[in-house]
Structures are given as structure tokens and as C-alpha cells.
Amino acid sequence: MKNRVILILAGLSVVSIVFGLSIFKGNKQVNIAPVTQARPQSVQGLLRQAQDLEQKADQIGLKAVYQKLINDFPNHKDIAGWQKKLDEVNLKIIFSPIVAPGLSQEYEIQPQDNLSKIAKQFNTTVELLMRSNGLSSDKINPGRKIKVWTGKFNLLVDKSQNTLILKLNDEMMKTYTVATGLNNSTPVGTFKIVNKLLNPTWYKAGAVVSFGSPENILGTRWLGFDFTGYGIHGTTEPESIGKQATAGCVRMLNPDVEELYSLLPVGTEVTIVD
């Protein structure tokens, strides 16, 4: 009988540990907290979180959820779609008034300020200042607080994949499909963007081909390297994207190169690898 009582008490102790019951030790009641084990979140659970955050327009939270999905389930059949959603969220954060710690800050406009001066001070672009602060013109009023980017953008072009990766402080922000040089002619190395042109003229073997001409294949933007004759530009031949098709430059769809044009200041580094 004594042994049976001991076994019953032992069983109660196990049950109390699992479910958080109270047991008695002598004349005192002792509460035992339940033992819980952290369970990994499921894909379905994370997607439900993402849906809820999207409805709340919580872009920072949404970014964290899609990053977790990609990190925790790298072999999932939907990972390409998650990466695309993460790219979209990253750009929404960049182009919004959201201040991301370590990447952007709030700045109060001073009496002698203009957007060009602020852009130069923080090594950003007028286009990004306008878009991320909802400005419809370059007129600004002293005392207003605006968001300015302090993070550093850079680009990585992978010729073997015909991809261009936009990075911010070395974190991947977005991946674009591009065209690179025919017969692997795009130069390898690290370059800097030294000039930016809107609706560029094409100087072709001594000929001058103005923007809008059917012979001008540069598209709507030019980001020139410190390697004469080479750069990143748009295209009038969208079917060439994803292939080795250029004379050595990096070619993008016009909406994509326009996006980069608004983000990248002169001096941005571009690394090209085989």
C-alpha cells in the first residue's frame, strides 16, 4: 500500500509539471509552472501573420515575416514568390516616410536648405527625397521634418545569372533580371557610377543618336561607370532581358532602371562578377 501511494504521488508530480498544477509539500502548497517547449512556426502560421500585417500596412513587420519564411523554409516550393514579395516590401519601405533605424533618419529643414543641398549632405538623391516624403515639387518649407536616407546603396551584377542585386548596407533589397554583354563582353570588377542621364543621347561609333530615335537603344535612363563607354541603361528591346545581348553594358527594363536612377547617387559602387 505504501509503495502504491508513492507511485500515485509520483504520477501526480509528473502531471502537475506538465499542466501547471499545485501540489503540497508538507503543509505548504507549491505551484509548479507548466513546462513549455517553443514550437517552430509553420508556413501557414507565418502566412497568416503576413496577411494580417499587410491589412495593417505594417511594412516593417511584413518584411520580418517574409525574411523568416525564406530563412526557415529555404527549399519550399513558394520561396520565389516570397522573395518577390520581400523585394516589393523593401522598396515600399524605401519609398515611404517610414524611418528605418540605421538606414534613415528624420531631418528638420533649415532656412537655407534646398533639396539638392540636403541630397548632397546625406549622399542621396533629390528623387528619393521627394518620393519618400510625398513631395510633389522641389519647394520645401523650413521647420518641416522629412525622412532622409543614410544607408549606403551598392549593386552586384552576376553575369552568369544575368541578375542585378540592389543592396543597402550590404543587405539585399531587390533582384532584377538584366541583359549583359554578348560573348561575355561585360567587364568584371568594381566600378563607380560617375554620371546619370535622363533620356540619354547615344554616341555610337562617331554618330549621335538622339533620344526617341528608333536607333537609340539606351531606353529612358543612363548610369555611366568610371570605365568609359560602359554603364547601366534601359532598353527599347525588352525581349533581350535575361540574355547575353549587349555590346558590354548592363541593360534593364525601363521601369527598373528608372527605379534605380531615383535611388542611386553618383559615386555608388557597382561590382560585376562572372
Question: How far, in Å, CA of 131 to CA of 142, rounded?
Answer: 19
Asked whether the CA dihedral 179, 156, 255, 86 is positive or negative, the reply is positive
Determine contact, residues 155/164, Cβ cutoff 8 Å.
Answer: yes
* Catalytic annotation present for 76: no
The one catalytic residue among 85, 196, 233, 251: 233
Question: How far apart (Å, rounded) are the C-alpha atoms in residues 134 and 115?
Answer: 13
Report the SS3 class of residue 107: strand
3-state helix, strand, coil split of the chain in percent (to 5) is 35, 25, 40
Residue type, 210: S
233 is catalytic: yes
CA distance 134 to 107: 15
Q: Which amino acid is at 154?
A: N
* Marked catalytic residue, from 46, 249, 263, 270: 249
Contact between residue 179 and residue 250 where contact means Cβ atoms under 8 Å apart: yes
Residue in 50, 18, 21, 55 with CA at minimum distance from that of residue 37: 18
What amino acid positions are annotated as catalytic residues?
A: 233, 249
